[in-house]
Amino acid sequence: MRRLHNRIRPYAWGSHEVIARVQGRPVPSEGPEAELWVGAHPDCSSLVDDVPLVDVIASAPGDLLGADALDRFGVRLPYLLKLLAAERSLSLQAHPDARQAADGYAAEDAAGVPRGAAHRSYVDGNHKPELLVAYTEFEALCGFRPAAESAELVDALGVMALKPVVGALAVGDLREAVRALLSWPAAARADLVDQAVAASGNLPDGPAGGGPRGLVRLLAHDYPGDVGVLVALLLNHVVLAPGQGIWMPAGNLHGYLRGAGVEIMAASDNVLRGGLTPKHVNVPELLRVLRFEPLHSPVRDPEPVAPGVDTWSVPVDDFRLHRIRLDGGEAALDPAGPRTTLCLAGAVTVADGAGSARLTGGEAAFGAAGAGKMIFSGTGEVFLGSL
């Protein structure tokens, strides 16, 4: 195992407490700390002895990735592991499937859209399925709720301008409802959202103000005048207990609201936004990739695979995620492909055939594909990303 130094992304929506607390630093942190990245993404690669992991892998891809991963994914670690900590809501977004990503990337290249341009929708040719497991209580929007439920919520606002949206939802036309909201004239959006907020008292409330009424007010506070506030009413609103996960396959509109979680995803940056953001929203392309069908079961419970070891099944081969919780004992796993380990609490020693690393809160290590069985010992909680 090779110890990693991991960097933090200071996005404005990040927490001032969670990552600092995990790492044992003073709280609150000086600025927002949104994501701790563990992996070899070229934008923010972890370091091995001051050398970016992406370069370490490139120097010996066969040894570190293994023949199978190298053949399937090329010279890259195919997943990225993160500790995500949200103090305010993130943008509504969806990700393309593998074919859509490849086609979109090629089409923008052919059209001469500069790579790195703010209005570019595809920054690589890869898909980006995601699994997030709650570390603290975690609030999120994930996938469309049944259209009839959305029609009732939007209609309850009593905003006359929204009647066409209610009509589309009443006949199950989610595409038209989303198109109408995201194409609302820019000059009239703030007034529409203000009307919705003023009428939000007509919406159902939830525990501790967490229902649709609280959702509208929360999002309007974070993103005043953004029609994503209304699009959010079309989505499943869930609150995860620690250990519960949400699986976001391609084409599902989603957004994270509050809380901390461990996220693993295919190593891609392809994001099509649908509101709650000052960034570019490509409405036609978003409508092309979205799946306009209800996501009935977005929440995934942990599946025990051994004493103290859980996983969450996902239907992709880009990654697997395990959680190992120890109370002075040991656990053994024999994962496929290259593996990354992130410790969130306690002190855990992670060993494989190439060596060992003792990890405490916020520390991580990388292991080569051919290093054999992994042994975890100590007291604490770690997450393992692998294939």
Between the alpha carbon of residue 40 and those of residues 75, 123, 157, the distances in Å are: 11, 17, 46
Which one of the listed residues 273, 320, 323, 339 is annotated catalytic? 273
127 is in an annotated binding site: no
Find tokens 């190992």 and name the residue: 324
- Rg of the chain taking only CA atoms, in angstroms: 22
254 is in an annotated binding site: yes
Give CA–CA dist 23/353, Å, rounded: 27
For the chain, report the end-to-end CA distance as a whole number of angstroms: 16
Q: Is 308 left (phi over 0), alpha (psi -120 to 50) or beta?
A: left
237 is in an annotated binding site: no
293 is in an annotated binding site: no
User: 3-class secondary structure for the chain?
Assistant: CEEEECCEECCCCEECCHHHHHCCCCCCCCCCECEEEECCCCCCCCEECCEEHHHHHHHCHHHHHCHHHHHHHCCCCCEEEEEEEECCCCCCEECCCHHHHHHHHHHHHHCCCCCCCCCCCCCCCCCCCEEEEECCCEEEEEEECCHHHHHHHHHHCCCHHHHHHHHHHHCCCHHHHHHHHHCCCHHHHHHHHHHHHHCHHHCCCCHHHCCHHHHHHHHHHHCCCCCHHHHHHHEEEEEECCCCEEEECCCCCEEEEEEEEEEEEECCCCCEECCCCCCCCCHHHHHHHCCCCECCCCEECCEEEECCEEECCCCCCCCEEEEEEEEEEEEEECCCCCEEEEEEEEEEEEEECCEEEEEECCCEEEECCCCCCEEEEEEEEEEEEEC
Q: Catalytic site residue 273?
A: yes
Task: Pick out the residues of the known binding site for Zn(2+).
Answer: 93, 95, 130, 254
Residues recognised as catalytic:
273
Task: Pick out the residues of the known binding site.
Answer: 93, 95, 130, 254
